[in-house]
Structure 1
């Protein structure tokens, strides 16, 4: 009996040591590969903000500047927005910013508040020597940051064109639960990367779209391993309720041109989505809502149509 107990104990110890060893190997290989991949595939320009590196991509020409701002947790905003940026770049200067914790940018412990994120956007644009006013084009949660930006710095924002963008009052209806910080261990130990190897066919929906090159798809997949559930993303997720609450019942200024391009699937599955956007309108002549067929990441499948609507809207409302 004692011998059996000793053998069982040794087996448990062996299993435990093996698991720890595999985790250490996974963590080490993940961090080595991440460093190599970020160096090899880096796109755009690296700028310094408070000692941290932030990545930006600038393309196109034109008198007006469109700033593309990503949704919460988008692994690689530059690669994600590239087909849309290419289409907009025929008429405008286009900037894609990767928040801290996204794409090729560093992570940060700084609070992911509206104020901090907007100040980082402003600092990045200043360092890129791109003067405003800007046309902000936010996807998802960046709709909240864009509204905050337009209200606090009205001289710097001449329009907002949202892509199924979030609005403050949505958390009045349903608050988001907090995400555990222990989930960062999945990133630290490279478990997200391991999963992508175990499930090589996993797709984010853009893989089937011919608008994306194979390298862009590859970068998006690698960035998922780099950034999923990192400290910055979890902190930002846990700030959603506070950031939206800061703007409860705020409407767009009546002088600000706004185009909300909503995804039909979101409108159809959430009965509050369209009314929540309608509540923000104060000047119907320059604040419009359009609905396009597709899912929340509308630019994956509708880059061309989004660019067309944007150009029509800018021409009608911002041409001097």
Structure 2
């Protein structure tokens, strides 16, 4: 466990360092500051870049940034805000958006994939396979627009504003629990449907690999009904690879929901990453890269722990 933890920490550090080096080498914050109106003098631009640790040799800038990150200081954005504080706020928004969708999508995908495998080549399997293939093929922005259109139709038909699709809560009123839930329904559905479709396809393949395994036949030969043998033995083995897939997918969703956040007006980590790249904000992009590296490394450690708990063969 200690070796695993140390390896993940080193991997997160390498990923965060690479993110900073790529951002610092490819983005041009000087052009962003110089093009502002009114146009500032070049001396002021150079002084501002020095304050933000964005001027000078790349290695020196990286060492200064890395030293600050070890103390929790991610520097400042081009607008003068604390990158660390903005990272914390944006991460909490993305986490609230992604958590429910990822959990519901993964659980639903496992159930749908297992059911399709149990009923292989039957009507249920054909319908579920067609549905998951359609969801996998539909782009995220198209699915989000379809959900918004359907929600608008439902609100009009019922006369009750059940669904909201702009922002995390109503800006002109108190952020009540009911209001937050109404704003959360559609983006959660967009994330959950896409996640469920991918997990269902993956889980179905895993289930088909173990349905006719020797230990399943032995369990049924000893008197277990087919359904109980499949649920107790086959599903437990087939869900083990899904833990790795689901944990890494959750980590990727934290920074990969930029399109969903843009469409539904959630100011999360993905939206901040896109806006920061367009604004040539090196420290903000590096902060997002650091968050992504930590999330992926933590997901890898969680996947190892979960796999060890489910599969006793891996404990040695």
**Bigger RCO of structures 1 and 2 (CA < 8 A, at least 6 apart):** 2
TM-score, normalised via structure 1 length? 0.24
Greater percentage in strand: 1
Larger Rg: 2
TM-score, normalised via structure 2 length? 0.25
Greater percentage in helix: 2
